[in-house]
Amino acid sequence: MLHALDRKLVRDLWRLKAQVLAIALVLGCGVAIFLTSLGMVRALEATLEDYYSRQHFAQVFASARRAPMSVLRDVAAIDGVRAAEARVTGWVVLDLQRRAAPASGRVLSLPADGGVLNRPVLVDGRLPSPDANTEVAVTDRFARANGFRPGDRFAAIVDGTRQQWTITGTLRSPEFIYTLPPGGLMPDDEGFGIIWMPERAAAASFGMKGAFNDISLALRRDANTQRVIDRLDALLDEWGGTGAHDRETQVSHSFIQAELDQLRSMSAVLPPIFFGIAAFLVNMVLGRIVSLERAEIGLLKALGYRDWEIALHYLMMAALVAALGIGIGWSAGAWLSEGMSQLYARFFDFPWLVRPHDLDVYALAGLIGLASAALGALRAAWSAARLAPAVAMAPPAPPRFRKGRLDALAHALRLPQTAMMVLRGVLRWPVRAGFTTLGLSLGVAILVASNFMLSSLDEVVDIAFFQSNRQHASLILAQEAGLEAVTAARHLPGVMAVEPQFDLPVTLHNGARSKKLAITARLPGGDLARTLDIDGAPVPLPEQGILLSEQLARQLGLGVGDVVRVELSGIRDGTFSVPIAAITKQYIGLGAYMQLDALAAHLREAPRVTALNLWIDMGQLPELQARLKEMPMLSTVVMLTDMRDSFQQTISENVRITTVLFITISVLITVGVAYNGARIQLSERARELASLRILGFTQAEVSSILMGETALLALVAQPLGWAIGAWISWAMMTGFDSDLYRIPLVLTPASFAKASLVTLAAVAASALLVRRRLDRADLVAVLKTRE
């Protein structure tokens, strides 16, 4: 007897193949996203743990102006410190033959044995000889971007001295998985590299014999990180310490953690949407099948089939649909995971990627998919099992219709009869109509959220590169200089305007709250580097007072008119208090700004300069670049034009990929809901619609009844989708909020319009596919069908 049910099951699945495929695609999309997001989270976490453990990545970092090596013993004696390693670091300008513009690099001293902490991984060649003066190793990505191989040479300006270095090998380091140039927003492998030199050569190059200016600590498991940081700051204070920080605020690690948080959010938000819609679709389709097969169910029971066998038959149908969706999801998830791995390899410099045995993730995704389908099928299977044979074989009682307020309103509005039939169809099944509307609105919401990201990034670029930092280039000086550096910069070829900038490392205090950062001081009336208020309008630097970025002010619990205490660090000590004059808008980093003269007055010294912002005649850029390569006073050169172009290009590529992905997701949801809903309407109203054709209604009028209900629900879903999409966008914005960067909430009418156009087009295509079945229907055969 079971063989007969199996044959019926196969025939039913083949007859409903289009609906089955639509449901399977929705379910498969949820499985694929679940696998990709959760799988990549596990892979990244496993890779980081393995990489950090093998290479002994530090947990606390600090820098100082110049500290004697004897301080290292005191640091190592701090309670909770397991290992401490000091090194020499410095910034250099690089003259690369294949590159017209000057590049920049950060030099790190390398112990003869490779070091105790932050040990780099040798990719190619060998480490520099401990006694060599001109041998270096560079990051693998920097070498590949510039076509370097072991044995190649390049020039560097180190503290005003031009040196020729020979590359002996290429390395990767856990400290620079994500490498940003000074002031950069995206990695620049061609224009910025990490360079390792032997300890003795690095100390000699930067005047650090017997001293260090950077230190890393590894802690014991029972260590109190904050106490270690406080003690380390106290030890380095007299040597120009600029403030210690833990691994969580280390730049490379912070970016990777932000990516992990994004993946976790994706796995928590998107898959449940797909699983929920799949359950609703299964419930809708199976419920209609049970309604149409009442007589068959009654006959099967009369022949001796038991209730549990009938219920199992419909549950098996849902399970087979789920199995198809799970298979699609597993295949798509594996493909997406491979694509994501390549994407991470492009942006993150991992020497290897640990892929944990994720069979349990596949199993979990499959179980959730099966559970979703089973949940959707339970009601239909239960109703089929409870049908008594005599009741099942009798036709269902016809629905009761009576005139109500809707009829009176329709009469007053003189609505056509077809419109009334559409409204009655919606009100006859309000729960199903509500869930259909919700499903369609989720398709809209996903597109609204994806368009939000594009609009938000456009505003970030506009604020960062066109309104706040409008200079073509910034010259970072090797050491503090007087205002005479501005005069010297004005004589460089092609320089049309110069604005000085002074960055002072400090700690801002408000009661128990504090934040370590640098105050940026500029001359009043500057037009290249500007500060903007909350509304985006330029705000002048106050003669007395300080400007704080909105994020910083919120973290310190301060507002306009409050007073913040400034504690100096580095080569200066002391404190002073200053009122907050205004709150500024800033999406990248945290900012505190003062007038150059006002800050100098608090420091009781003449104004100083650490950077120069330039406006350049681009026609003379080659001559300027050649001169910059020879300037001894430079530490690094930041080309804002190149940074902007690189940022926009990278964002454009990512947005294209993301847009295609989200459009696909939205279309799958919309088609799955709209197509199944229209097919069920057709099966329910086939006799009714055929009768209307016999009575003289045109094909267009009959089709409008079928498509009108879907169209009405789709239109109602639009504002709901906009609201849900706005909420998802807000949640995404909140998730991106960190000290490194923030994403503004930008929702434009165009974003809502694009989302609606795509989903309405998908709804129309689905309804037209169902209409073709209506147009081809045999009216006589339909009228003979028993309801």
Is 203 within the bounds of a domain?
yes
pTM exceeds 0.85, yes or no: no
Nearest to 673 by CA among 445, 443, 439: 439
Residue 1 confidence class, pLDDT cut points 50, 70, 90? very low
Q: Are 368 and 377 in contact (CB under 8 A)?
A: no
CA-based diameter of the chain, in Å? 103
Is 50 within the bounds of a domain?
yes
Final residue belonging to a domain, choices 247, 270, 297: 247
Q: Cα 105–109–111 angle (5° rounding)?
A: 145
Both 130 and 194 in one domain: the answer is yes
Is 325 within the bounds of a domain?
yes
User: For residue 3, what pLDDT is reported?
Assistant: 67
Is 626 within the bounds of a domain?
no
Both 67 and 48 in one domain: the answer is no
Both 442 and 506 in one domain: the answer is no
Q: Tell whether the model's pLDDT for residue 277 goes beyond 70.
A: yes
Both 764 and 645 in one domain: the answer is yes
Residue 58 confidence class, pLDDT cut points 50, 70, 90? very high
Is 747 within the bounds of a domain?
yes
Lowest average pLDDT, out of 81-95, 309-323, 334-348, goes to: 334-348
Is 634 within the bounds of a domain?
no
Q: Helix crossing, 640-694 with 17-55: angle to 10°?
A: 160
Residue 244 confidence class, pLDDT cut points 50, 70, 90? confident
Q: Which position has the higher pLDDT, 262 or 553? A: 553
d(CA 22, CA 676): 8
User: For residue 436, what pLDDT is reported?
Assistant: 80
CATH number of the domain residue 603 falls in? 2.40.70
Average pLDDT, integer, range 263-267: 76
Both 2 and 90 in one domain: the answer is no
Note the pLDDT tens digit of each residue in 102-155.
Answer: 888 899 999 887 788 999 999 999 999 998 989 999 999 999 989 999 999 998
Is 787 within the bounds of a domain?
yes
Both 41 and 87 in one domain: the answer is no
d(CA 615, CA 629): 18
Q: Helix crossing, 417-428 with 699-735: angle to 10°?
A: 50
Both 439 and 529 in one domain: the answer is no
Q: What range does the domain containing 700 cover?
A: 406-470+640-787
The 3-state DSSP class for residue 163 equals strand
Final residue belonging to a domain, choices 228, 247, 266: 247
Final residue belonging to a domain, choices 370, 397, 424: 397
d(CA 289, CA 13): 11
Both 87 and 227 in one domain: the answer is yes
- Tokens standing for residue 155: 């020039």
Lowest average pLDDT, out of 5-19, 34-48, 227-241, goes to: 5-19
User: For residue 751, what pLDDT is reported?
Assistant: 85
Distances (CA, A) of 82 to 116, 218, 340, 455: 11, 5, 36, 47
Note the pLDDT tens digit of each residue in 414-451.
Answer: 666 666 666 666 666 777 777 788 888 888 888 888 77
Note the pLDDT tens digit of each residue in 62-112.
Answer: 998 899 999 999 999 999 999 999 999 988 888 888 888 788 889 999 988
Q: What are phi and psi of 617, to 5 degrees?
A: -75, 105
Buried residues in 485-501 as b, exposed as e (16+ CB within 10 A): beeebeebebbeebbbb
Please tell me the total count of domains within the chain.
4
Is 488 within the bounds of a domain?
no
Residue 629 confidence class, pLDDT cut points 50, 70, 90? confident
Note the pLDDT tens digit of each residue in 169-213.
Answer: 999 999 999 888 776 667 788 888 999 999 999 999 888 999 999
Specify the residue for token string 């088609």.
671
Q: Which position has the higher pLDDT, 357 or 447? A: 447
Both 114 and 231 in one domain: the answer is yes
Both 267 and 344 in one domain: the answer is yes
Both 41 and 188 in one domain: the answer is no
User: For residue 94, what pLDDT is reported?
Assistant: 87
d(CA 508, CA 236): 18
User: For residue 52, what pLDDT is reported?
Assistant: 93
Both 263 and 238 in one domain: the answer is no
3-state SS, 588-618, equals ECCCEEEEHHHHHHHHCCCCCEEEEEEEECH
